[in-house]
Amino acid sequence: MKNSIFLNSIKAISVAGSLLMGAIVTGAGTSPVKPHSHAATRVNNIVLVHGAWADGSGWEGVYKILKGKGYNVTVVSNPNTSLAEDVRITKAVLAQQDGPVILVGHSYGGAIITEAGDESIVKGLVYVAAFAPDAGESLFKMQQGAPADPNSPVLPPKDGFIWLDRAKFHAAFCADVPAAQADFMAASQVPPGLAAFSTDLTTAAWKNKKSWYIVSKQDHMIPPDVERSMAKRAGSVVTEIDASHAVYVSHPAEVAAVIEKAANN
């Protein structure tokens, strides 16, 4: 299945749509019960978390739109070295906020916000073409048994880190951004450490926080059907955008609109 090329270089590395969907649907049962909300009050603080092979600069378009509408927006710069460290840094950013927060994560950033989002200050979660693991799951576990994809951009791990092939980066990660921009993104990629994908989550914030999910219909890193299944399991409000995995870069206005919905819910 061509759309499944997230982590091809280890046996557990490459998302197999049907296998991962089966793992997600099994045990999903009913959607999690979310707390009832009263009169809607805008959440003014937005925290944006990037994923693997990216850095915080990709959020610039979304940041400018939300900032222009009066939101207090903070972009987390995670090292992607381990889930524990990335969660620690994200929680440190949350502690700096002056009130309720909408926490947003792209790709691997979804695992970060799922773990960090259990903080009481977090009032909603927005998953942007992102993983939404359950407690006891790691990204490796979610992908175990997936068949290898010969078109995968993922290179074999080196010195404890996983890189994407720069020659394949554009087509796989961000096919709908200009070539020059894609080249820069490939050259500035932040490789995840193996510990980022091998660590089990201890909590799943989507079980008790309302969530929104953006499905990227042209995603070649996480299959769109897998994204839909994760959103269903989390009971998320779903928006679908005809975009690549880097939807937050290529469609900032549409992504910002979903974040606004979460903030005003």
Q: Which tens digits make up the pLDDT trace of 55-72?
A: 999 999 999 999 999 999
Query: Residue 243's closest CA among 229, 253, 233?
Result: 253
Determine the pLDDT at residue 151.
Answer: 80
Is the pLDDT assigned to residue 44 strictly greater than 70?
A: yes
Query: Residue 127's closest CA among 25, 263, 259, 260?
Result: 259
Give percent helix, percent strand, percent coil of the chain, each to the nearest 5.
40, 15, 45
Domain boundaries, the chain: 42-264
How far apart are alpha carbons 76 and 47 in whole angstroms? 7
Is the pLDDT assigned to residue 39 strictly greater than 70?
A: no
Mean pLDDT of 149-165: 92
| Tokens representing residue 117 in the block | 């989002």
Q: Report the percent of the chain where pLDDT is more than 70.
A: 83
How far apart are alpha carbons 140 and 80 in whole angstroms? 15
Query: Residue 227's closest CA among 136, 107, 134, 111?
Result: 107
Assigned fold of 42-264: Rossmann fold (3.40.50)
Q: Which tens digits make up the pLDDT trace of 100-151?
A: 999 999 999 999 999 999 999 999 999 999 999 999 999 999 887 666 677 8
How far apart are alpha carbons 130 and 122 in whole angstroms? 18
Is the pLDDT assigned to residue 258 strictly greater than 50?
A: yes
